Amino acid sequence: MKVLAAGEDHKFVVFGGVEYGTGKIIWHRGEFKGSEGFIKWLDELDEAYPQEPVLVVLDNVGYHKSRQCKMWWDKHKDHIRPFWLPAYTPNLNLMERIWRFLKAKLSCHRWWADLPALGEATDQILVHLKVRFGASNSPSLNLVQNFCNSA
């Protein structure tokens, strides 16, 4: 007997960071997790802040410290520096709160059969997301438009 499956899983990854002062989010969508996609995001970060010193708060994912990334960090050490969080402390990484918020908005109790549409929805949420940290006792994540209702 043959049992038909729902199909093959398709996915993409999003690398990103938030400027704590302004709430601006810079992200890069790629096909795979790893050094190559992460370095593309770092290059976009470098382009977004060409003259300003940048401190990047990072967890301890292996590809953040890969040989290629170490070479990238070395090449940009006068401009962009990593700040490594202690292992197993996702609560210290404020970007994790944004990822949780994004995933909740995208799921909305639905399945995505169209990967490009999911990518577009991801981009639209990140474009319209207003983030404020430190303005009150808890972070504020607000969407300009409710994408769950409009989807």
Residue 6 inside a domain? The answer is: no
Q: Express each pLDDT in 64-107 by its tens digit.
A: 999 999 999 999 999 999 999 998 888 888 888 899 889 988 88
Q: Express each pLDDT in 47-60 by its tens digit.
A: 999 988 999 999 98
What's residue 147's pLDDT? 42
Residue 60 inside a domain? The answer is: yes
Residue 8 inside a domain? The answer is: no
What is the pTM assigned to this prediction?
Answer: 0.79
Residue 7 inside a domain? The answer is: no
Domain containing 29 equals 13-150
Q: Express each pLDDT in 3-59 by its tens digit.
A: 666 667 778 999 999 888 788 899 999 988 999 999 999 999 999 999 889 999 999
CA angle, 74 then 31 then 144, to 5°: 95
- Structurally, the chain folds into a number of domains equal to 1
Residue 79 inside a domain? The answer is: yes
Residue 123 inside a domain? The answer is: yes
Residue 5 inside a domain? The answer is: no
d(CA 125, CA 146): 9
What's residue 131's pLDDT? 83
Residue 2 inside a domain? The answer is: no
CATH number at residue 21: 3.30.420.10
